[in-house]
Structure 1
Amino acid sequence: MEKTTSSGAGPLISISHLTKRYEAGDPALSDLTVEVRRGEALAVLGPSGSGKSTLLNMIAGLDRPDEGTVTVDGVRVDQLGEAGSAKYRRATIGMVFQFFNLLDDLTVQDNVLLPAQLAGMPRAKAHERTLELLADLGIEQYRGTFPGRLSGGERQRVALARALMNRPPLILADEPTGALDRASAGSVVRLIRELNERGQTILLVTHDTGLAASCATRTIELVDGRIARDDAAVTR
């Protein structure tokens, strides 16, 4: 698997005084400030309702804050319109979901190709990149297979390949092992660790402390939309 390089100085993610409210009640995020360095693997822990998913959506440009700023790789994400947000996601982030979000009517190869096609990558280059990723992730033999015929672990490898297609500086992972059995989860954990060891910045959201301990170089815990704990990993 290739070594990932990140350009630029300073943090990859810079979030300042972020607040988000949904209707009545306490805010989902409350005056949250945090930075993520390039090359970190940050796990965001917390129970349901703690603000984890809201934070992920803010970083992905899928939602906007009521107050505060979100800057990722020099881009003020909180100021982007719909078209700008879509372009930002194609260029800057790769997303991995608990339930894979693969298109069942496309083959493995075509699922992985999709981000490159949306970004306008030349066809020959995109095809070469797809085969490279499938080989790196050990799923080259499934390139003509439809996702429904794969195991959960294999589908998550396809999702990781798709997320890496455009060489994004940031991978966002939402409970990436939540739908997997123990063996498949262990395989995905090893892949995430290897990606990070090669320089890929990763932010994963989970309630699983074991996953955080296995993958992350740093962990923050959210409680009621605020950071209750921020720890660098001692071992991994």
Structure 2
Amino acid sequence: MDTNDSTGTTAPVIDIRDVSRRYGQGPPALDGVRLTVRRGEAVAVLGPSGSGKSTLLNLIAGLDRPDSGSVTVAGVRVDTLGEAASAKYRRAGIGMVFQFFNLLDDLTVADNVLLPAQLAGIPRAEARRRAAELLDRLGIGRHAEAHPGRLSGGERQRVAVARALMNRPALLLADEPTGALDSAAGQDVRDLLTALNADGQTVLLVTHDPVLAESCTTRTIELVDGRIVRDTVAVPR
């Protein structure tokens, strides 16, 4: 996907303009949100339960639509996509990592990682090379033929990250990626996200954990009652 605008400058990976979303008669889940994320940034979205974090993630992922405003990701107007185009966008444009891994236990590690490539129609030989490269890069190549249920939580989250990166997405979305892990495995995933961002991967991390946000992102957004109340760039260490 082209992330260059008509002037030749680098366009944002995420460009959210005046987005609002309300469910039923309650207060808005998001209220006039504006957010820009540039290529190579690692951004954490923090906020208490009900602040709008999940709604924001779902809009960026094309799983929901705003009532007003626009959502553009890697040059794609996500809020205007139909169901089929939205599914194609998720396969090609973004990778998603979840709190509880969402791996298929009846498939091997390698086959879990291959799934996005198969759905995208990538030739099998090419996909297998890419999967092996990712598993080796993430330190779990020796588990390629194992089933996820035999791995530790940290190893399963590494498999989930490999799957999310399979189609070389412009954006990696992570939803509470350490929430189901013990402290040691959580640190392992934090180190992994930091390394991926250092290699140039754009990351948007949704969490309630300020330690996770501080340790592996370069910028923190705080949501309260559907509005951004703080946008802080980390001081280089």
Q: TM-score scaled by structure 2?
A: 0.96
Q: CA deviation at 1:234?
A: 1.1
Question: 1:20-169 maps to which residues of 2 (within 5 A)?
Answer: 20-169=21-170
Q: Which residue pairs with 1:180 in the alignment?
A: 181
Tell me, yes or no, if the aligned pair for 2:3 and 2:75 is still in contact at 8 Å. Answer: no
Distance 1:91 1:28 in 2: 28
**Any idea what the Cα deviations from partners look like across 1:179-198, whole Å, max 9, x if unmatched?**
10111111111110010011
- In structure 1, runs of 5+ residues without a counterpart are 1-5
> Partner letter of residue 43 of structure 1?
A
Distance 1:7 1:222 in 2: 27
- In structure 2, runs of 5+ residues without a counterpart are 5-9
Distance 1:82 1:7 in 2: 23
> Partner letter of residue 143 of structure 2?
Y
Q: CA deviation at 1:7?
A: 4.9
> Partner letter of residue 133 of structure 2?
E
**Any idea what the Cα deviations from partners look like across 1:95-145, whole Å, max 9, x if unmatched?**
000000001111100000000000000110000001101100111111111
Give the count of matched residue pairs.
Answer: 231
Q: Which residue pairs with 2:225 in the alignment?
A: 224
Q: RMSD of the alignment, in Å?
A: 0.9
Distance 1:193 1:73 in 2: 21
Distance 2:83 2:12 in 1: 25
> Partner letter of residue 159 of structure 1?
A
**Any idea what the Cα deviations from partners look like across 1:4-54, whole Å, max 9, x if unmatched?**
xx8531211100000000001100000101100110000000000000000
Q: TM-score scaled by structure 1?
A: 0.96
Q: CA deviation at 1:85?
A: 0.3
SS in 2 for 1:234: coil
